[in-house]
A = this chain, B = another copy of it.
Amino acid sequence: MLLRSKRCWALVAFSLMGFTAQAQSPGQDSVMIRRIFSEALANGKSYGNLHYLCTAIGPRLSGSEGAAKAVTWTQQLMAGMGLDRVYLQEVQVPHWVRGKKEKAKIRSRASSQQVPICALGGSIGTGKKALRAHVVEVQTFEELRGLDRAKVAGRIVFFNRPMNPRFIQAGQAYGEAVNQRSTGAIEAARMGAAGAIVRSMNLAQDDYPHTGSMHYQEGVTKIPAAAISTNGADLLSRLLQEDPGLQFAFTQNPQTLPDALSHNVVGEIRGSEFPGEVILVGGHLDSWDLAQGAHDNGAGCMQAIEVLRLMKALNYQPKRTIRTVLFMNEENGLRGGLKYAELARKNKENHIAAIESDAGGFTPRGFSIVAPAHKISQIARWKQVLAPYGLHDIGAGGGEADIGPLKSDQIALIGFRPDSQRYFVHHHAASDTFDQVNRRELELGGASMTALVYLLDQYGLK
């Protein structure tokens, strides 16, 4: 693109603003929302804060030293923001540790080669000696169940159904494939298998194994389960075609330690007119252990903190109480979300809405809402003042995990929806690092959440 685009670009920008906002009255809401976005883009702090969280603190799996440091640092960060209240909520969390780096090898007639794997979160280990066995490749649980048990017993089941690339919303492909990771080990063990290897939940072809939580079931033998990179999965599948008698060997030694004490971190600005009505914004502070947890979910936490900072920076005094919650343990237990809801009920708190950002720090596209229809309609009508900022997709849909336990007819559970295309390249993998986050995209997300909080604060939710 060259310089003559100057005029074109200006035309584009003005026109797009114009026609997307054609129904918009140039009222106070539009002015305030414009101020929110300008402050975020010019002076936003979530990017700098995320840099610190990712590079000075790093991985934050529940029970880890990183998680504890993140709790202390975010509490201090909010304590320095002039909020009305900053506090911790105690929560007991699972404490799983990966142990020594995993190893895996494919030994076929033709070759012997290492492939990248990682233990799934919650998995048991193989012991110090590798688990070595023949491999049965399947695409679905139905296919596995239809096999002769004798052909599965003692083997490693290789779940190799790729995420379906045809979905426009990448999360839908995730939803359709993730049962292999979450309960594959149960299905494999029921057939007598000795282990489970799962194709990484990744829409790209690369060498990163993607971890994520998996479960065992009472009464079903626990077997070791690991993720293999998408390139590794394709290699294994090709070699199995050539040599069905090949052996797969892997070693992993994670451990589940006793539950540990951890915390949700909470900060709030008290409402001036209706302090009893709470509007929550949140993310989860824990991350998987393999990376910095930049998109999942340092981004969401820093955006949730930024909502309060933007209100302060703009001297906006909310009518209702605006509360930022950084939940602990979303990834492997949801204990923070459950504890928060338990305390909210105990304290008879009245939440009118809860917005969670847990789909990455990408360019904003909208909000998806779980609520009675009339509440969804009220929020969707605000599209006229939000669409100029790229927020077109506003309507019924899923919330996010941590806020789920707050569900009732009184509350709107709202998932912030950034663009989904890049999320599953980095999700739960070592590549989920700060350098994969674009400053403008991240700051626009915090501004989008703030704009919605502002509207909820101004008008409440009937």
Kindly supply a per-residue 1/0 record for chain A positions 66-106, scoring 1 wherever the CB is within 8 Å of any chain B CB and 0 otherwise.
00000000000000000000000000000000000000000
Specify which chain B residues have a CB less than 8 angstroms from the CB of A332 in the assembled complex: 2
Specify which chain B residues have a CB less than 8 angstroms from the CB of A387 in the assembled complex: 392
Do A171 and B12 touch (CB < 8 A)?
A: yes
Give CA–CA (A370, B4) in the complex, Å.
Answer: 15
Kindly supply a per-residue 1/0 record for chain A positions 223-240, scoring 1 wherever the CB is within 8 Å of any chain B CB and 0 otherwise.
000000000000000000
Do B8 and A440 touch (CB < 8 A)?
A: no
Q: Find the B residue at minimum CB distance from A165.
A: B41
B-binding segment of A111-119, A129-137, A263-271, A421-429 = A421-429
Indicate how many identical chains form the complex.
2
Give CA–CA (A332, B399) in the complex, Å.
Answer: 49
Do A395 and B1 touch (CB < 8 A)?
A: no
B-binding segment of A146-154, A253-261, A312-320, A360-368 = A360-368
Do B1 and A419 touch (CB < 8 A)?
A: no
Specify which chain B residues have a CB less than 8 angstroms from the CB of A331 in the assembled complex: 2
Specify which chain B residues have a CB less than 8 angstroms from the CB of A13 in the assembled complex: 167-169, 171-172, 175, 397
| Distance to closest chain B CB from A232 (angstroms) | 18
Give CA–CA (A332, B2) in the complex, Å.
Answer: 7
Do B9 and A204 touch (CB < 8 A)?
A: no
Do B330 and A1 touch (CB < 8 A)?
A: yes
Give CA–CA (A42, B175) in the complex, Å.
Answer: 18
Do A6 and B174 touch (CB < 8 A)?
A: yes
Specify which chain B residues have a CB less than 8 angstroms from the CB of A296 in the assembled complex: 1
Q: Is A358 an interface residue (CB 8 A)?
A: yes
Give CA–CA (A3, B201) in the complex, Å.
Answer: 11
Give CA–CA (A165, B166) in the complex, Å.
Answer: 35
Do B330 and A400 touch (CB < 8 A)?
A: no
| Distance to closest chain B CB from A79 (angstroms) | 28
Specify which chain B residues have a CB less than 8 angstroms from the CB of A297 in the assembled complex: 1
